Amino acid sequence: MSTPAIPSLPTPNHRRLVGRLLLVVALSFGFGFALVPLYDAFCVVTGLNGKTAGAAKGIGIGGIQQQVAAAPSPIDKGRIVTVEFIGTVMPGLPWDMQPLISKLDLHPGELQQAMYRVHNRSDQPIVGQAIPSVSPGLAAQYFHKLDCFCFAQQTLAPGETKDLPLTFIVKPEIDRDIRTITLAYAFFKAADSKSATKRVATR
Amino acid sequence: MYTADTAAHHDHAHGAPRGIMRWLTSTNHKDIGTLYLWFSLFMFFFAGALAMLIRAELFQPGLQLFQPAVFNQLTTMHGLIMIFGAIMPSLVGFANWQVPLMIGASDMAFPRLNNWSFWLLPAAGLLLIATFFVPGGAIAGGWTMYPPLYIQGGVAYDMSILAIHILGISSIMGAINIIVTILNLRAPGMTLMKMPLFVWTWLITAFLLVAVMPVLACAITMLLTDRHFGTHFFDAAGGGDAVMFQHLFWFFGHPEVYIMILPAFGIVSTIIPTFARKPLFGYVSMVYAVASIAFLSFIVWAHHMFTTGMPVGGQLFFMYTTMLIAIPTGVKVFNWVATLWRGSITFETPMLFALAFVFLFTIGGFSGLVLSLVPVDIQLQDTYYVVAHFHYVLFSGSAMAIMGGIYYWLPKWTGHMYDETLGKIHFWLTAIAFNITFFPMHFLGLAGMPRRIPDYALQFADFNMISSLGGFLLGASQLLFLYTVIKCVRGGAPAGNKPWDGADTLEWTQTSPPPYHSFVTPPQIKLVRGRSHANAR
């Protein structure tokens, strides 16, 4: 083949098209990160991912009776909901954890209390944080915790065993199809042992 | 920058340079296409070998060969390498070879970028394979990389994140190159609606790649920062949510499955009219069907997550949108069958693969439709029914279309005819062994056998043994494929410019093999829709 005629390439066109395509790439990369707050907002609005709300509004610890008196939920004696309790200790936290009762039958609207026993196996004071999750996810918005050890970090001295309480109401508005709710806690290591030592010392 | 590229073409207009530097530094779309295809063939055999080990372990109940941790590495790496190392690069290889030839362009739009896109792949491939040799072994959490497992693993997990980043960059660059080539470098007279369907499918696939590969990159970046930099995107300890990863992953993952099948549609849509000796039935509807499948692929992702606790409204939405995909896919299958109708059909090896594709892919499509039903899916989630489904769409779909495409274009690429007898034997062995391997998995799944387990209950033993025997035959048959391809590359009857009398796309106007620089002057296109009758000058 003799020297070929080089067709003049429409270079500006190339540039503009590549520019636009790179913009698409950048936008979809950004879209992925934008999904994180969007997802959280979506879950808060719909209550879908099994995350329970914090303490019931307007009351602190000790205000339980007051709140119940102020807004008494009618107790639905007509049906029974079973609440199952699960506890998991995540890797890196040398604790044992188990619920004192594994399940509880209750009428929706009743104020109930449950306990988890945790034990620090190590010779260090350790701070842990429990993260709750409710299954099925749709039950989460009807699972109201008035007081919970998961509202604050928990500190255990070396070898200490502690019973951690949780007070809750399953609201009677919960869907009648839901007969069993599973409440699962995952305990994570929250802080290094230095600050934990300080906490143990000061309490 | 790009004008400098085109000016450089003066230097080697006479032919291919010699030696290893030809391949390392090549900016020629044919060389790079060849590199892509060989790379993917190597990865196909590597991941196939992992599949053989999986089937060997599952030959009988009980732990025979591997501990569960190793077995999990095998299934994870088999999936990851087949998808990112074998199927995707081979389709890009086809695009490199065929897109410029089919639209009458002299090369890809960005030849140097093209070189870089390819040479990133061996680095990523090595990184993936090397994970088998690091402490803790290869990644074992499944190819979908779900946290929290993926956050907890060892150094192999970091290597795989890096490898997938590299593969993603390569795919994005390749896709941009393909889009610019198709939109800017078509021969005069070739309007969009006169492009061969293979080019159309790749154009749409490239747009999918550009849109979703960055989302995957984003998701695995979050995995990496969760692992090392104290973020809590997916880590419940810091208020993260592991299910969010599934949303991000499948927002990439579902378009990804169409990335792997749309170019295969294009290959089949090229082969069937050739051997039916009729133009493709319903060209325009084919284009719109591909475009609608691509659009729908963005709004169905959560059908992979029906069991994660979704409200009924969400389940219904994703169920209906998923079922909607059956309509454009049905249009395509109908058009392929209608193309065959009253055609003068001959059954050369590419045609056998294309026909098997239509038949077997349809089975895979139907089992997908079954899985789209929420109540059924909740039963079948993570069972062997799902494994059967995605092997029917990925092996008898993508991989067999790729094999058909290889046989179809090998005479053009090499200048030699492949051995038709060996090709046909390879086809029948593959088609039969494939069905022996994967059809019983439907029954296993319906009976409740979970996937990703090295050991299973006794009642699954018979079907697993059948499946393993089929798997070994399927694996061995691919060695025949390798032999046939190498034999064809090394020699054979001269192919002539146009060995298939029914073919009518532009590449057949070139010599076989085509000159190193083809279409240095654009061909004249006679304006026939979908069939680019051309007089190359």
CB contact under 8 A, A1 and B14: yes
In the prediction, which pLDDT does A150 show? 86
In the prediction, which pLDDT does A52 show? 65
Query: Beta strand pairing status for A103-106 and A81-89?
Result: antiparallel
For the stretch B397-430, pLDDT in tens is 999 999 999 999 999 999 999 999 999 999 999 9
Domain count, chain A: 1
Strands (DSSP E) along B256-337, which ranges? Answer: none
Question: Which of the four pLDDT bands, split at 50, 70 and 90, describes residue A191?
Answer: low
CB contact under 8 A, A28 and B237: no
CB contact under 8 A, A24 and B210: yes
**Phi/psi of residue A171, nearest 5 degrees:** -70, 140
For the stretch A46-94, pLDDT in tens is 766 666 665 544 333 433 444 444 455 688 888 899 999 998 888 888 9
Which element (helix H / strand E) includes B524?
A: strand B524-525
- Residue A156 near residue A162 (C-beta atoms within 8 A): yes
| Domain region containing A108 | 57-201
- Residue B38 near residue B406 (C-beta atoms within 8 A): no
CB contact under 8 A, A36 and B184: no
- Residue B111 near residue A14 (C-beta atoms within 8 A): no
Q: Which of A14, A45, A95, A135 to mutate to test the interface with B (most CBs of B within 10 A)?
A: A14
- Assess if residue A30 is contained within a domain: no
CB contact under 8 A, B244 and A24: no
Q: Looking at chain A, how many residues does it have?
A: 203
Torsion-angle region of A47 (φ positive above 0: left; ψ -120 to 50: alpha; else: beta): left
The secondary structure of B270-288 as a DSSP string is: HHHHHHHTSPPTTHHHHHH
User: Any idea which residue has 């979970």 for tokens?
Assistant: B450
pLDDT at residue A201 above 70?
no
For the stretch B175-208, pLDDT in tens is 999 999 999 999 988 889 999 999 999 999 999 9
Residue A17 class from Cβ within 10 Å (0-12 exposed, 13-18 middle, 19+ buried)? middle
CATH code for the domain of A125: 2.60.370.10
What's the whole-number mean pLDDT along residues B322-345? 95
Q: Extract the tokens encoding A129.
A: 């944080």
- Assess if residue A156 is contained within a domain: yes
Give me the percent of chain A exceeding a pLDDT of 70: 74
- Picking from A27-36, A58-67, B43-52, B376-385, which range would have the lowest pLDDT averaged per residue? A58-67
Residues of B in contact with A13 (CB under 8 A): 184
- Residue B489 near residue B419 (C-beta atoms within 8 A): no
CB contact under 8 A, B210 and A28: yes
In the prediction, which pLDDT does B7 show? 43
CB contact under 8 A, B310 and A48: yes
CB contact under 8 A, B2 and A28: no
Q: Residue B479 and residue B45: Cα distance in Å, rounded?
A: 9
- Assess if residue A9 is contained within a domain: no
- pLDDT higher at B291 or B528: B291
Residue B520: which of A4, A32, A137 has the nearest Cβ? A4
Q: Residue A175 and residue A185: Cα distance in Å, rounded?
A: 23
Query: Distance (Å) from the C-alpha of residue A6 to the closest C-alpha of chain B?
Result: 7
- HEC letters along chain A: CCCCCCCCCCHHHHHHHHHHHHHHHHHHHHHHHHHHHHHHHHHHHHCCCCCCCCCCCCCCCCCHHHHHHHCCCCCCCCCCEEEEEEEEECCCCCEEEEECCCEEEECCCCEEEEEEEEEECCCCCEEEEEEEEEECHHHHHHEEEEEEHHHCCEEECCCCEEEEEEEEEECCCCCCCCCEEEEEEEEEEEECHHHHHHHHHHC
Question: Which of the four pLDDT bands, split at 50, 70 and 90, describes residue A196?
Answer: low
What's the whole-number mean pLDDT along residues B107-115? 94
CB contact under 8 A, A39 and B176: no
Interface check for B209 against chain A (CB to CB < 8 A): the answer is: no
Which element (helix H / strand E) includes B534?
A: strand B534-535
In the prediction, which pLDDT does A51 show? 66
Query: Distance (Å) from the C-alpha of residue A154 to the closest C-alpha of chain B?
Result: 14
Under DSSP, the state recorded for B193 is: G
What's the whole-number mean pLDDT along residues B77-94? 96
For the stretch B272-287, pLDDT in tens is 999 999 999 999 999 9
Residues of B in contact with A3 (CB under 8 A): 10, 13
Among B434, B401, B369, B363, CA closest to B265: B401
- Picking from A167-176, B108-117, B354-363, which range would have the lowest pLDDT averaged per residue? A167-176
Query: Distance (Å) from the C-alpha of residue A20 to the closest C-alpha of chain B?
Result: 10
Residue in chain A lying closest to B234 (CA): A36
Residues of B in contact with A186 (CB under 8 A): 236-237
Query: Distance (Å) from the C-alpha of residue B479 to the closest C-alpha of chain A?
Result: 39
What's the whole-number mean pLDDT along residues A109-114? 89
The residues, ordered by sequence, that sit 6+ positions from B191 with a Cβ below 8 Å of its Cβ are none
Count the Cβ atoms, other than its own, within 10 Å of residue B144.
Answer: 15
- Residue B451 near residue B384 (C-beta atoms within 8 A): yes
Interface check for B211 against chain A (CB to CB < 8 A): the answer is: yes
Count the Cβ atoms, other than its own, within 10 Å of residue B436.
Answer: 18
Under DSSP, the state recorded for B133 is: G
In the prediction, which pLDDT does B521 show? 85
- Assess if residue A29 is contained within a domain: no
Residues of A in contact with B518 (CB under 8 A): none
pLDDT at residue B158 above 90?
yes
**Phi/psi of residue B79, nearest 5 degrees:** -65, -50
In the prediction, which pLDDT does A189 show? 83
Q: Extract the tokens encoding B59.
A: 């030959």
In the prediction, which pLDDT does B91 show? 97
Q: Extract the tokens encoding B499.
A: 């060995």
In the prediction, which pLDDT does B46 show? 97
Residues of A in contact with B513 (CB under 8 A): none
Q: Residue B126 and residue B135: Cα distance in Å, rounded?
A: 16
Which element (helix H / strand E) includes B535?
A: strand B534-535
pLDDT at residue B250 above 80?
yes
- Assess if residue A15 is contained within a domain: no
In the prediction, which pLDDT does B183 show? 94
**In this structure, is the dihedral angle defined by the CA atoms of residues A93, A96, A102 and A107, taken in order, positive or negative?**
negative
Q: Residue B348 and residue B502: Cα distance in Å, rounded?
A: 12
Indicate the average pLDDT of chain B: 91
The residues, ordered by sequence, that sit 6+ positions from A41 with a Cβ below 8 Å of its Cβ are none
Give me the percent of chain B exceeding a pLDDT of 70: 95
- Residue A181 near residue A128 (C-beta atoms within 8 A): no
Question: Which of the four pLDDT bands, split at 50, 70 and 90, describes residue B15?
Answer: low
Question: Which of the four pLDDT bands, split at 50, 70 and 90, describes residue A12?
Answer: low
Q: Which of B210, B251, B305, B312 to mutate to test the interface with A (most CBs of A within 10 A)?
A: B210
Cα distances from B433 to residues B412, B469, B478, in angstroms, run 29, 8, 11
pLDDT at residue A169 above 80?
yes
- Assess if residue A7 is contained within a domain: no
CB contact under 8 A, A11 and B3: yes
In the prediction, which pLDDT does B8 show? 44
- Assess if residue A84 is contained within a domain: yes
Cα distances from B354 to residues B87, B274, B282, B357, B409, in angstroms, run 17, 11, 18, 5, 13
pLDDT at residue B534 above 70?
no
In the prediction, which pLDDT does B14 show? 57
Interface check for A17 against chain B (CB to CB < 8 A): the answer is: yes
Among B266, B122, B263, B269, CA closest to B206: B263
Residues of A in contact with B10 (CB under 8 A): 3, 6
- Assess if residue A148 is contained within a domain: yes
Interface check for B21 against chain A (CB to CB < 8 A): the answer is: no
- Residue B154 near residue B136 (C-beta atoms within 8 A): yes
